[in-house]
Structure 1
Amino acid sequence: MDDTVDDSVKDVEAWFERLPADQRDELLALRARIRELVPDATERISYGVPTFVLSRPLLALNASRSGLSLITMRPDLLAGMADALGGVRWSGSTLRFQPGAPLPDDVVRRVVEARVAQERAGQ
Protein backbone atom coordinates (compact mmCIF):
# COMPACT_ATOMS: atom_id res chain seq x y z
CA MET A 1 0.00 0.00 0.00
CA ASP A 2 1.44 3.36 -1.05
CA ASP A 3 0.66 5.92 1.69
CA THR A 4 1.94 9.03 -0.09
CA VAL A 5 2.06 12.48 1.41
CA ASP A 6 0.48 13.89 -1.75
CA ASP A 7 -2.79 12.05 -1.08
CA SER A 8 -2.93 13.37 2.48
CA VAL A 9 -2.22 16.91 1.36
CA LYS A 10 -4.96 16.65 -1.27
CA ASP A 11 -7.42 15.58 1.42
CA VAL A 12 -6.31 18.45 3.66
CA GLU A 13 -6.53 20.93 0.79
CA ALA A 14 -10.03 19.68 -0.09
CA TRP A 15 -11.09 20.21 3.54
CA PHE A 16 -9.97 23.84 3.41
CA GLU A 17 -11.60 24.42 0.01
CA ARG A 18 -15.05 23.63 1.37
CA LEU A 19 -14.90 26.42 3.98
CA PRO A 20 -16.32 29.92 3.59
CA ALA A 21 -13.57 32.36 2.60
CA ASP A 22 -13.30 34.09 5.99
CA GLN A 23 -12.87 30.81 7.86
CA ARG A 24 -10.52 29.40 5.22
CA ASP A 25 -8.27 32.47 5.25
CA GLU A 26 -8.04 32.51 9.04
CA LEU A 27 -7.27 28.79 9.32
CA LEU A 28 -4.80 28.84 6.44
CA ALA A 29 -2.88 31.61 8.20
CA LEU A 30 -2.85 29.57 11.42
CA ARG A 31 -1.81 26.48 9.47
CA ALA A 32 1.12 28.40 7.93
CA ARG A 33 2.24 29.57 11.37
CA ILE A 34 2.11 26.04 12.76
CA ARG A 35 4.14 24.81 9.78
CA GLU A 36 6.77 27.45 10.56
CA LEU A 37 6.93 26.34 14.19
CA VAL A 38 6.90 22.59 13.48
CA PRO A 39 8.32 22.09 9.98
CA ASP A 40 8.82 18.36 10.52
CA ALA A 41 5.15 17.70 11.26
CA THR A 42 3.07 16.03 8.59
CA GLU A 43 -0.58 16.74 7.90
CA ARG A 44 -3.52 14.43 7.38
CA ILE A 45 -7.23 14.32 7.94
CA SER A 46 -7.99 12.58 11.22
CA TYR A 47 -11.47 12.44 12.73
CA GLY A 48 -12.61 14.64 9.86
CA VAL A 49 -10.27 17.59 10.51
CA PRO A 50 -6.76 18.63 9.40
CA THR A 51 -4.30 17.25 11.92
CA PHE A 52 -0.59 17.90 12.40
CA VAL A 53 1.32 14.75 13.32
CA LEU A 54 4.78 14.07 14.67
CA SER A 55 4.87 10.48 15.87
CA ARG A 56 1.27 10.93 17.09
CA PRO A 57 -1.42 13.57 16.49
CA LEU A 58 -0.11 16.90 17.74
CA LEU A 59 -2.67 19.60 16.91
CA ALA A 60 -5.79 19.89 14.79
CA LEU A 61 -7.80 22.69 13.21
CA ASN A 62 -11.57 22.88 12.94
CA ALA A 63 -14.33 25.16 11.71
CA SER A 64 -18.00 25.20 12.57
CA ARG A 65 -20.95 27.59 12.41
CA SER A 66 -19.97 28.88 15.85
CA GLY A 67 -16.34 29.64 14.98
CA LEU A 68 -12.86 28.24 14.59
CA SER A 69 -10.69 26.11 16.83
CA LEU A 70 -7.18 24.91 17.47
CA ILE A 71 -7.31 21.53 19.18
CA THR A 72 -4.31 20.60 21.32
CA MET A 73 -5.26 16.95 21.92
CA ARG A 74 -4.32 17.38 25.59
CA PRO A 75 -6.85 18.91 28.03
CA ASP A 76 -4.18 19.24 30.72
CA LEU A 77 -2.07 21.49 28.50
CA LEU A 78 -4.42 24.48 28.39
CA ALA A 79 -5.38 24.20 32.05
CA GLY A 80 -1.69 24.36 32.93
CA MET A 81 -1.15 27.53 30.92
CA ALA A 82 -4.45 29.32 31.49
CA ASP A 83 -2.75 32.51 32.72
CA ALA A 84 -0.66 32.72 29.53
CA LEU A 85 -3.77 32.45 27.34
CA GLY A 86 -5.00 35.90 28.30
CA GLY A 87 -8.53 36.44 27.07
CA VAL A 88 -8.54 33.57 24.59
CA ARG A 89 -11.61 31.36 25.00
CA TRP A 90 -10.80 27.73 25.67
CA SER A 91 -12.29 24.59 27.11
CA GLY A 92 -10.81 21.15 27.48
CA SER A 93 -8.17 20.80 24.80
CA THR A 94 -9.60 23.44 22.45
CA LEU A 95 -8.82 27.11 21.84
CA ARG A 96 -11.76 28.93 20.22
CA PHE A 97 -11.68 32.04 18.07
CA GLN A 98 -13.55 33.81 15.29
CA PRO A 99 -12.72 34.86 11.74
CA GLY A 100 -11.29 38.36 11.91
CA ALA A 101 -10.10 37.81 15.48
CA PRO A 102 -7.15 35.40 15.17
CA LEU A 103 -5.39 33.77 18.06
CA PRO A 104 -2.55 36.00 19.28
CA ASP A 105 0.79 34.85 17.87
CA ASP A 106 2.36 34.52 21.31
CA VAL A 107 -0.45 32.16 22.36
CA VAL A 108 -0.04 30.08 19.19
CA ARG A 109 3.71 29.89 19.70
CA ARG A 110 3.43 28.90 23.38
CA VAL A 111 0.77 26.27 22.74
CA VAL A 112 2.58 24.75 19.76
CA GLU A 113 5.95 24.70 21.54
CA ALA A 114 4.37 23.13 24.64
CA ARG A 115 2.66 20.43 22.57
CA VAL A 116 5.86 19.65 20.69
CA ALA A 117 7.72 19.38 24.01
CA GLN A 118 5.06 17.00 25.36
CA GLU A 119 5.17 14.88 22.23
CA ARG A 120 8.96 14.69 22.13
CA ALA A 121 8.96 13.70 25.82
CA GLY A 122 6.56 10.88 24.97
CA GLN A 123 3.63 12.40 26.84
Structure 2
Amino acid sequence: MKSTVKPATIDAYIAAFPEPVQERLEKIRKTIAKAAPGATEAISYRIPTFKLAGKYLVYFAGFREHIGVYPVHEDTIDVRDELTPYLSGKATLKFPMDKPVPYPLIAKVVKAKVKAATSAPAKKSRSRA
Protein backbone atom coordinates (compact mmCIF):
# COMPACT_ATOMS: atom_id res chain seq x y z
CA MET A 1 0.00 0.00 0.00
CA LYS A 2 1.33 3.43 -0.87
CA SER A 3 0.18 5.23 2.28
CA THR A 4 -0.42 4.63 5.96
CA VAL A 5 -3.46 6.91 5.88
CA LYS A 6 -6.66 5.15 6.89
CA PRO A 7 -8.75 4.71 3.73
CA ALA A 8 -12.34 5.92 3.98
CA THR A 9 -13.69 3.49 1.39
CA ILE A 10 -12.80 0.19 -0.22
CA ASP A 11 -12.27 2.09 -3.48
CA ALA A 12 -9.64 4.26 -1.77
CA TYR A 13 -8.01 1.21 -0.20
CA ILE A 14 -7.71 -0.61 -3.54
CA ALA A 15 -6.51 2.53 -5.36
CA ALA A 16 -3.47 2.71 -3.07
CA PHE A 17 -2.02 -0.48 -4.61
CA PRO A 18 -0.18 -1.05 -7.90
CA GLU A 19 -2.38 -1.96 -10.87
CA PRO A 20 -1.87 -5.77 -10.82
CA VAL A 21 -2.75 -5.91 -7.12
CA GLN A 22 -5.74 -3.60 -7.67
CA GLU A 23 -7.13 -6.05 -10.21
CA ARG A 24 -6.90 -8.96 -7.78
CA LEU A 25 -8.37 -6.99 -4.88
CA GLU A 26 -11.25 -5.75 -7.02
CA LYS A 27 -12.01 -9.27 -8.25
CA ILE A 28 -11.97 -10.57 -4.66
CA ARG A 29 -14.31 -7.73 -3.70
CA LYS A 30 -16.73 -8.66 -6.49
CA THR A 31 -16.47 -12.36 -5.63
CA ILE A 32 -17.39 -11.66 -2.01
CA ALA A 33 -20.23 -9.30 -2.94
CA LYS A 34 -21.74 -11.88 -5.30
CA ALA A 35 -21.42 -14.69 -2.74
CA ALA A 36 -22.93 -12.58 0.04
CA PRO A 37 -25.97 -10.77 -1.35
CA GLY A 38 -27.16 -8.18 1.11
CA ALA A 39 -23.75 -7.75 2.72
CA THR A 40 -22.52 -4.19 3.09
CA GLU A 41 -19.02 -2.87 2.57
CA ALA A 42 -17.00 -1.09 5.23
CA ILE A 43 -13.46 -0.40 6.31
CA SER A 44 -12.52 -1.96 9.64
CA TYR A 45 -9.01 -2.32 11.05
CA ARG A 46 -7.97 -0.25 8.00
CA ILE A 47 -8.90 -3.05 5.59
CA PRO A 48 -11.92 -3.89 3.42
CA THR A 49 -14.70 -5.63 5.30
CA PHE A 50 -18.08 -7.07 4.45
CA LYS A 51 -20.81 -7.04 7.09
CA LEU A 52 -24.02 -9.03 7.11
CA ALA A 53 -26.92 -8.12 9.38
CA GLY A 54 -24.65 -5.67 11.19
CA LYS A 55 -21.97 -8.28 12.00
CA TYR A 56 -18.55 -8.71 10.43
CA LEU A 57 -18.55 -11.48 7.84
CA VAL A 58 -15.20 -11.39 6.04
CA TYR A 59 -12.16 -9.15 5.63
CA PHE A 60 -9.55 -9.02 2.89
CA ALA A 61 -6.25 -7.19 2.58
CA GLY A 62 -3.36 -6.70 0.21
CA PHE A 63 0.27 -7.13 1.18
CA ARG A 64 3.57 -7.08 -0.69
CA GLU A 65 3.73 -10.87 -1.18
CA HIS A 66 0.12 -12.01 -0.83
CA ILE A 67 -3.55 -11.19 -0.39
CA GLY A 68 -5.20 -12.31 2.83
CA VAL A 69 -8.83 -13.28 3.45
CA TYR A 70 -10.11 -13.76 7.01
CA PRO A 71 -11.47 -15.09 9.21
CA VAL A 72 -11.95 -18.65 8.01
CA HIS A 73 -13.30 -20.84 10.80
CA GLU A 74 -15.12 -24.11 11.32
CA ASP A 75 -18.09 -22.84 9.29
CA THR A 76 -16.00 -23.63 6.19
CA ILE A 77 -15.36 -27.23 7.20
CA ASP A 78 -16.98 -28.53 3.99
CA VAL A 79 -14.14 -27.04 1.97
CA ARG A 80 -11.34 -27.57 4.51
CA ASP A 81 -9.32 -29.86 2.18
CA GLU A 82 -9.44 -27.24 -0.57
CA LEU A 83 -8.28 -24.56 1.88
CA THR A 84 -5.22 -26.44 3.14
CA PRO A 85 -2.72 -25.06 0.60
CA TYR A 86 -3.74 -21.49 1.49
CA LEU A 87 -4.22 -21.71 5.27
CA SER A 88 -1.92 -19.65 7.41
CA GLY A 89 -2.63 -20.10 11.07
CA LYS A 90 -6.10 -21.12 12.15
CA ALA A 91 -8.20 -18.55 10.36
CA THR A 92 -6.27 -16.85 7.55
CA LEU A 93 -6.12 -17.63 3.86
CA LYS A 94 -3.04 -16.34 2.05
CA PHE A 95 -2.97 -16.14 -1.73
CA PRO A 96 0.58 -15.52 -3.02
CA MET A 97 0.98 -12.77 -5.62
CA ASP A 98 2.90 -15.09 -7.92
CA LYS A 99 0.07 -17.64 -8.23
CA PRO A 100 -3.51 -17.48 -9.53
CA VAL A 101 -6.15 -16.56 -6.95
CA PRO A 102 -8.78 -19.32 -6.56
CA TYR A 103 -11.81 -17.02 -6.76
CA PRO A 104 -14.33 -19.92 -6.80
CA LEU A 105 -12.83 -21.14 -3.51
CA ILE A 106 -13.23 -17.67 -1.99
CA ALA A 107 -16.88 -17.74 -3.10
CA LYS A 108 -17.38 -21.13 -1.41
CA VAL A 109 -15.87 -19.85 1.83
CA VAL A 110 -18.03 -16.72 1.81
CA LYS A 111 -21.20 -18.71 1.04
CA ALA A 112 -20.40 -21.04 3.95
CA LYS A 113 -19.92 -18.04 6.23
CA VAL A 114 -23.21 -16.52 5.04
CA LYS A 115 -24.99 -19.81 5.70
CA ALA A 116 -23.48 -20.05 9.18
CA ALA A 117 -24.33 -16.42 9.94
CA THR A 118 -27.92 -16.66 8.75
CA SER A 119 -28.67 -20.03 10.31
CA ALA A 120 -27.21 -19.24 13.73
CA PRO A 121 -29.90 -19.06 16.41
CA ALA A 122 -30.58 -15.59 17.74
CA LYS A 123 -29.11 -14.92 21.15
CA LYS A 124 -31.72 -14.59 23.85
CA SER A 125 -31.52 -11.52 25.97
CA ARG A 126 -31.35 -12.18 29.65
CA SER A 127 -33.73 -10.13 31.68
CA ARG A 128 -32.95 -9.22 35.23
CA ALA A 129 -35.98 -9.76 37.36
TM-score by length of 1: 0.77
| Pair 1:70 & 2:69 matched | yes
> 2:68, 2:93 within 8 Å by CA — same for their partners in 1?
yes
Aligned residue pairs, count: 114
The corresponding residue for 1:11 is: 9
The corresponding residue for 1:28 is: 26
1:15-94 alignment to 2 at 5 Å?
A: 15-55=13-53, 56-72=55-71, 74-77=72-75, 81-85=79-83, 87-94=85-92
The corresponding residue for 1:103 is: 101
Q: State the alpha-carbon separation in 2 of the partners of residues 77 and 107 from structure 1.
A: 14
In the TM superposition, residue 49 of structure 1 has moved relative to its aligned partner by 0.5
> 2:28, 2:103 within 8 Å by CA — same for their partners in 1?
no
- State the 4+ residue runs in structure 1 displaced beyond 6 angstroms: none
> 1:26, 1:99 within 8 Å by CA — same for their partners in 2?
no
> 1:88, 1:103 within 8 Å by CA — same for their partners in 2?
no
Q: Which runs of 5+ in 2 are unaligned?
A: 1-7, 122-129
In the TM superposition, residue 80 of structure 1 has moved relative to its aligned partner by 6.4
Q: State the alpha-carbon separation in 2 of the partners of residues 79 and 118 from structure 1.
A: 11
In the TM superposition, residue 78 of structure 1 has moved relative to its aligned partner by 5.1
Percent of aligned pairs sharing the same letter: 26
Q: State the alpha-carbon separation in 2 of the partners of residues 19 and 33 from structure 1.
A: 19
In the TM superposition, residue 91 of structure 1 has moved relative to its aligned partner by 2.5
Q: Which runs of 5+ in 1 are unaligned?
A: 1-9
> 1:26, 1:102 within 8 Å by CA — same for their partners in 2?
no
Deviates more, 1:37-46 or 1:101-110: 101-110
Between Structure 1 and Structure 2, whose CA radius of gyration is higher?
2
